[in-house]
Amino acid sequence: MSTATGPIGPVDLAVIGFRGELRQGGIRDAVARAVDRGAVRVLDVLLVRKDDDGSVRLFDAESPEGAEELLGFPTVMPDLVGEEDALAIAAEMDPGTTVLVIAWENVWASEIAAEVRELDGQLLVMERLPREDIEVALAAISSNEEGS
């Protein structure tokens, strides 16, 4: 992967917690599929593990090769999320947990973002709706359609 050229899409930082050790295969494959589809471009990745005794281990992909070892492919901006970030996250973690921190550009939205900038627009609010709220809304729609 090369550095970003052309329109830049919104960038998300996801901090995902897991009990115990992270079994990376499924996560790695899901992220790789999103990259292959062109939906996202992974900028950086960091893995923090807090052992049962409270000791902290981190894998900070400080180079494209380091990210390739963790993800199976290089990242665009290794070390965007740094050791200081990892230590702040580790301080909040429970023993026996693992946290995956991943920063990605939403490539799918880059043309929309470019057009907003071209029109001198400004993003005022962007919020991710909880999956549970969407499921409740879909269930209500479904029950209304069945009752009609």
pLDDT digits (tens, 9 = 90+) for 74-83: 788 877 888 8
Low-confidence ranges of the chain (pLDDT < 70): 1-7, 24-25, 62-64, 148
Both ends of the chain: CA-CA distance in Å? 52
Confidence (pLDDT) at 6: 60
pTM here is 0.75
- DSSP β-ladder status, 97-106 and 56-60: unpaired
Element (H, E) at 45: strand 40-50
Confidence (pLDDT) at 21: 79
Contact criterion met (CB below 8 Å) for 81 and 69:
no
